[in-house]
């Protein structure tokens, strides 16, 4: 039996008898194909469940990078009470009460002093010299395990140890920005005695010694992240730090295109001029021109993300041909939602532009109105009001509607207004 087959049984109601194995397997949401094809210790799920009942999981150590985190460290550590056996703080010289509040939250906290060297990977990798067995779960001080998921991490790591003990892989809990996106390819949990180490001064991930992306498993364990809230980014100078580290990395690895991607993504001001947008687009397009997205490794892992950013830049300065090309690449690479979004923006812009031309064309016809075509002219203004509503030319809606009603038509627009009013009430109150 393959691992994916066992998961299919566990996630389909009634196919597996209720057991600890079945409930813990249900926490696994996806995996890379190499792990999906892994053979299980037994082809009999009943045997697997019985043996799992006596399985002893490896210990779990939370690794937290800290520097002046007194306002958030206790909440971070307390939330992990059911999921980790030990806590290791890799502290970069906190001058506040971070250490005291950490020890107050958990009595087992160890603190390793490590001066900041402009390298997040270096700080994370120091944990491997301090912890040599079990799992390392890398958690940032501004990340909090959601209370509804307490206990899940320990359970899912236990079942992975039991079924995939002979395989090397990393585990990705879900990290949800408060009020923002949700990340699933986080790669935060790995075995202390495994082959993977973090690389990259910033936006670091674990890799094999040769720089390949490891096999990965995504689990239904969620951390809520407050570190990207605008006020936090501003207070702690995170954007400037990320850009500076990306530039340092680019100087050290000028042939690695992902540092250009990070510098533009993190550093380009949303209100940048069209010329700045075009310059960023030209640079990123050049460095990713020959990248092969299928070979996920330290160099190429941000290729498809770069295509998405190139779409956004092309959209902002209006390069339809570039937007069309990178949209196609996104779709072909499996990023269907992004591809559909940019393709829809491109096509809708074309359609809206055509509608706008039609609206202006109707206005120009007003000059040849006469008594014999007055009623038809009213219908034309009725159509103009509808087109203006559909295309967002709201300044043209009321004038066209009034001209239509003055000529004895406009009922369809009146009905549109009534429908929109009902929708607005429903949107605001949840009732019709």
pLDDT, tens digit only, all 432 positions of the chain: 999 999 999 887 777 778 899 999 999 999 999 999 999 999 999 999 999 999 999 999 999 999 999 999 999 999 999 999 999 999 999 999 999 999 999 999 999 999 999 999 999 999 999 999 999 999 999 999 999 999 999 999 999 999 999 999 999 999 999 989 999 999 999 999 999 999 999 999 999 999 999 999 999 999 999 988 888 888 889 999 999 999 999 999 998 999 999 999 999 998 999 999 999 999 999 999 988 776 778 998 999 999 999 999 999 999 999 999 999 999 999 999 999 999 999 999 999 999 999 999 999 999 999 999 999 999 999 999 999 999 999 999 999 999 999 999 999 999 999 999 999 999 888 765
| Segment holding 174, helix H or strand E | strand 170-177
Identify whether residues 22 and 85 lie together within a single domain. no
Q: Are 188 and 137 in contact (CB under 8 A)?
A: yes
For 142, phi then psi, to 5°, come to -95, 20
Identify whether residues 64 and 144 lie together within a single domain. yes
What would the two tokens of residue 370 be?
A: 């006469």
What pLDDT score does 15 carry?
Answer: 74
Nearest of 90, 85, 111 to residue 100 by alpha carbon = 111
Domain of residue 142: give its range: 60-228
Last residue of a domain, one of 15, 36, 52: 52
DSSP for residue 243: H
Identify whether residues 250 and 325 lie together within a single domain. yes
31-34 long-range contacts (CB < 8 A, ≥24 apart) are 31/3, 31/4, 31/169, 31/215, 31/216, 31/217, 31/218, 32/169, 32/215, 32/216, 32/217, 34/215
- The span from the CA of 146 to the CA of 132, in Å, is 28
Q: Are 313 and 284 in contact (CB under 8 A)?
A: yes
What would the two tokens of residue 108 be?
A: 């087992």
Q: Are 400 and 385 in contact (CB under 8 A)?
A: yes
What pLDDT score does 432 carry?
Answer: 53
Contacts of 266 (CB under 8 A, 6+ apart): 239, 242, 243, 246
* 3-state SS, residue 137: strand
Contacts of 192 (CB under 8 A, 6+ apart): 61, 127, 128, 131, 132, 133, 134, 135, 136
Number of folded domains in the chain?
4
Last residue of a domain, one of 181, 202, 228: 228
Determine the straight-line distance between the first and last CA of the chain, rounded to whole angstroms.
53
Identify whether residues 102 and 162 lie together within a single domain. yes
Identify whether residues 26 and 74 lie together within a single domain. no
Identify whether residues 123 and 162 lie together within a single domain. yes
What would the two tokens of residue 405 be?
A: 């009603």
* 3-state SS, residue 331: helix
What pLDDT score does 227 carry?
Answer: 87
Identify whether residues 215 and 285 lie together within a single domain. no
| Single pTM value for the model | 0.87
Residue 350 within any structural domain of the chain: no
Q: Are 22 and 49 in contact (CB under 8 A)?
A: yes
Q: How many CB atoms lie within 10 A of CB 240?
A: 13
Q: How many CB atoms lie within 10 A of CB 277?
A: 22
Maximal C-alpha separation, the chain: 93
* 3-state SS, residue 308: helix
For 31, phi then psi, to 5°, come to -160, 165
What pLDDT score does 175 carry?
Answer: 97
What pLDDT score does 368 carry?
Answer: 93
Identify whether residues 159 and 181 lie together within a single domain. yes
Q: Are 256 and 74 in contact (CB under 8 A)?
A: no
- The span from the CA of 380 to the CA of 91, in Å, is 71
Residue 358 within any structural domain of the chain: no
Identify whether residues 307 and 384 lie together within a single domain. no
What pLDDT score does 212 carry?
Answer: 94
Q: Is the Cα torsion angle 186, 189, 194, 200 positive or negative in sign?
A: positive
What would the two tokens of residue 133 be?
A: 């067995």
Residue 94 within any structural domain of the chain: yes
Residue 343 within any structural domain of the chain: no
Torsion of CA 158, 164, 167, 168, to 10 degrees: -30
Identify whether residues 22 and 42 lie together within a single domain. yes
Tell the residue number behind the tokens 């030209």, with chain if given.
282
């Amino acid at each position: 039996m393959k691992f994916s087959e066992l998961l299919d049984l566990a996630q389909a109601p009634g196919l597996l008898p209720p057991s600890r194995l079945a409930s813990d397997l249900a926490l696994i949401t996806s995996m890379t194909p190499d792990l999906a094809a892994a053979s299980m210790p037994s082809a009999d799920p009943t045997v697997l469940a019985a043996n799992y009942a006596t399985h002893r999981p490896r210990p779990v150590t939370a690794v937290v990078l800290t520097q002046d985190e007194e306002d958030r460290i206790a909440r971070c550590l307390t939330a992990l009470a059911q999921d980790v056996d030990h806590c290791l703080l890799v502290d970069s010289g906190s001058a506040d009460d971070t250490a005291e509040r950490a020890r107050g939250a958990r009595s087992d906290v160890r603190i390793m002093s490590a001066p900041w060297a402009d390298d997040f990977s270096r700080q994370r990798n120091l944990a491997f010299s301090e912890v040599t067995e079990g799992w390392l779960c890398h958690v940032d001080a501004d990340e909090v395990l959601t209370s509804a998921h307490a206990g899940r991490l320990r359970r899912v790591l236990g079942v992975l140890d039991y079924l995939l003990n002979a395989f090397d892989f990393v585990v990705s809990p879900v990290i949800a920005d408060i009020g923002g996106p949700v990340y699933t390819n986080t790669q935060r949990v790995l075995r202390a005695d495994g082959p993977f180490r973090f690389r990259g001064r910033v936006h670091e991930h674990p890799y094999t010694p040769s720089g390949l992306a490891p096999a990965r498993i995504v689990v239904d364990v969620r951390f809520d992240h407050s570190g990207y809230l605008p006020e936090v980014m501003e207070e702690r100078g995170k954007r400037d730090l990320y850009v500076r580290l990306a530039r340092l990395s680019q100087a050290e690895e000028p042939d690695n295109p992902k540092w250009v991607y990070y510098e533009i993504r993190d550093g380009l001001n949303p209100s940048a001029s069209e010329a700045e947008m075009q310059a960023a687009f030209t640079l990123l397009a050049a460095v990713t021109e020959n990248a092969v997205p299928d070979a996920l490794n330290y160099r190429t892992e941000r290729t498809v993300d770069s295509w998405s950013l190139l779409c956004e830049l092309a959209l902002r300065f209006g390069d339809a041909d570039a937007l069309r090309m990178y949209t196609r690449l996104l779709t072909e690479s499996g990023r269907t939602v992004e591809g559909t979004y940019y393709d829809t923006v491109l096509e809708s812009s074309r359609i809206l532009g055509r509608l706008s031309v039609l609206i202006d064309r109707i206005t120009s016809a007003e000059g040849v109105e006469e008594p014999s075509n007055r009623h038809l002219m009213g219908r034309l203004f009725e159509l103009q009001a509808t087109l203006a509503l559909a295309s967002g030319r709201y300044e043209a809606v009321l004038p066209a509607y009034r001209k239509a009603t003055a000529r004895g038509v406009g009922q369809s627009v009146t009905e549109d207004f009534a429908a929109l009013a009902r929708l607005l009430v429903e949107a605001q109150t949840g009732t019709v």
